[in-house]
Amino acid sequence: MNFFIDQHGCAKNQVDGELIISQLVSYGYKQTFNPEEAQLIIVNSCGFIESAKIESIEAVQSARQKYPNAKILLTGCLAERYAGDLKESLTEADGFFGNGDISQLNKVIAPLMEGSRPVLTPPQKGVCCGERHTILSFAGAAFVKITEGCNNRCSFCAIPIIRGELRSRKADEIIEEIKKLISQGVYELNLIGQDLAAYGTGATDDVFGTGRTFLPRGTPGTVGLSEDVNTDGRESGLCTLLRKISALEGTFRLRLLYIHPDHFNEDILPVIKADERILPYFDIPFQSGDDATIRAMHRTGTREKYEKLIEKIRDVFPDAAIRTTFLTGFPGETDESAKNTQDFLKKIATDWSGCFPYSREEDTPANSFENHVGGKISKKRAAQLVKIQSKITRDRLALRCGKDYDVLVEEVLAASDDEESKDEGIAIGRAWFQAPEVDGSVVIRYDMSSKAECDAVKTGRLVRVHISASGDVDLTGDFIGDSPLNASIKASALTFAQDMNL
């Protein structure tokens, strides 16, 4: 039988989708990228905000209308959170499966295909991981999940409701997965979790075989920790993990995604400084630059502390790439509050940011707060932040012009239809300061009449690019040569494969 997976949501959900694919392949199913050929269609859903929920539900309804003979299984966060309700209301779905333990997928597939309408949401325990036969990222890159769930309890966030309390993967298991990915030719590794700062601090965590690691500073409920996380010689779990990854030989680049600002692991900075393979890319979701709003979000930081954090990062890494996220229209946010956030963004001048209007989520504390802000106002404030960020991004991208970068090729596009440019090839890739899916790209121009350039510009490979122009989001550059790193990437893959007897 053939199956088709319709993937929604974040990078963590993508990893879950890759695990679902591997499970189905192990059952003897074959993946197809044409839903018309599929007997089973899986909608791996997002349930984080209202717009994402609607998108996932509409995907199920659309699949039922277009492919009436296929079985449709709803998986992911929406199924995890609302399976009981959706069984009654979403009649277009033939089954529902949560994300607590993907290894139990076989308990749903057989009854589903036999005509039953199963609902299964296994308890949230551990971190779902295992063999991934297919990586849904562009060639040369992969996400590595190191934690699941969250203990921060931000008042607006449903993640702890959906994915439960914080759990962390054992460090040795993460190292082995990284080695396996490198052996398969993956160059870019992106560590993901709801909050990487809290790695190893879950109630049942024992990631290094020494018991639970200490809680980072600023964590709600923490007692007796100094503002300096290294006062007593201890280092954070994330720092120790990075040291273990840094001890690996081989050619790769490592990016950290999602570090909560209230307990940012400052001890990771010297580790990153000492290893150029670990990128000075910091994804820190501040959500607001107004102190009253920050407190209402059940966060412990302040605008001043957040500004000092950015200053400290840039003191160590003047060229650091920094991404953040803002939530506009949070209950009680006034015009003055919104202005404070705008001023904050101008001050920290992040390279990238996402801006989202607040979405009410049942069972979260903020849902019962007073003084909810209207949707039009929330969207207007988001648009104002987008406008500010757009100018900052344009200015920061302009600083990249005239420089050379190794760019990971993601797509090779068709040649130009213009007769004068018929020999100009176009490819799309990312430099180190561009995270997958959320940041801009590098448009690579190369000579299609040159066999050497055509051989070099392939998906999953690095090419050396001279940046000649910048725009609102993307950069444009000219191919200047094959990256010398490609040979060492290939050698690293072979070495790790031999070490792992692959």
CA distance 184 to 449: 31
Residue 354 CA neighbour count, 13 Å, CB half: 13
Could you tell me which CATH class the domain 2-120 is placed in?
alpha beta
43 against 211, higher pLDDT: 43
Strand, coil or helix: 492:
helix
Q: What is the model's pLDDT at position 224?
A: 34
Would the annotation count 154 as a binding residue?
yes
Q: What is the pLDDT of residues 404-445, one digit of tens each?
A: 999 999 999 976 556 566 788 999 999 999 999 999 999 999
Amino acid at 257: L
Domains of the chain by residue range: 2-120, 141-222+232-398, 404-487
Give the DSSP letter of residue 372: P
**H-state helical runs in 251-374:** 268-274, 291-296, 303-316, 335-348
- Specify whether the CB–CB gap between 358 and 341 falls below 8 A: no
Residue 459 backbone dihedrals phi, psi, to 5 degrees: -60, 140
CA distance 332 to 134: 45
CA distance 138 to 156: 32
Instruction: Identify the CA nearest to 236 among candidates 297, 317, 299, 146.
Output: 146
Mean residue pLDDT across the chain: 92
- Specify whether the CB–CB gap between 294 and 302 falls below 8 A: yes
The CATH number for 141-222+232-398, chosen from 3.30.70.1230, 1.10.10.10, 1.10.600.10, 3.80.30.20, is 3.80.30.20
Would the annotation count 129 as a binding residue?
no
Would the annotation count 128 as a binding residue?
no
The two structure tokens encoding residue 169: 């993967």
Q: What is the pLDDT of residues 340-356, one digit of tens each?
A: 999 999 999 999 999 99
Would the annotation count 355 as a binding residue?
no
Q: Which residues have C-beta within 8 Å of that of residue 373, sequence separation ≥ 6?
A: 329, 330, 331, 332, 333, 358
Q: What is the model's pLDDT at position 51?
A: 85
CA distance 421 to 444: 14
- Specify whether the CB–CB gap between 173 and 205 falls below 8 A: no
pTM of the model: 0.92
The two structure tokens encoding residue 181: 């990915």
481 against 212, higher pLDDT: 481
Beta bridge partners of 167: 148
Amino acid at 287: Q
Average of pLDDT values for 212-226? Answer: 52
Give the Å distances, CA to CA, from 248 to 28, 280, 386: 35, 18, 40
Q: What architecture is the 404-487 domain classified under in CATH? A: Beta Barrel (2.40)
Predicted confidence (pLDDT) at residue 212 exceeds the cutoff of 50: yes
Q: What is the model's pLDDT at position 133?
A: 86
Q: What is the pLDDT of residues 274-318, one digit of tens each?
A: 999 999 999 999 999 999 999 999 999 999 999 999 999 999 999
Would the annotation count 77 as a binding residue?
yes
Please name the residue that has the structure tokens 């997965």: 177
Residue 49 pLDDT level (bands cut at 50, 70, 90) = confident
Q: What is the model's pLDDT at position 415?
A: 61
Q: What is the model's pLDDT at position 419?
A: 58
Would the annotation count 401 as a binding residue?
no
**H-state helical runs in 38-196:** 50-66, 77-89, 106-113, 159-163, 171-183
Neighbours of 217 (CB within 10 A): 20
Q: What is the model's pLDDT at position 50?
A: 84
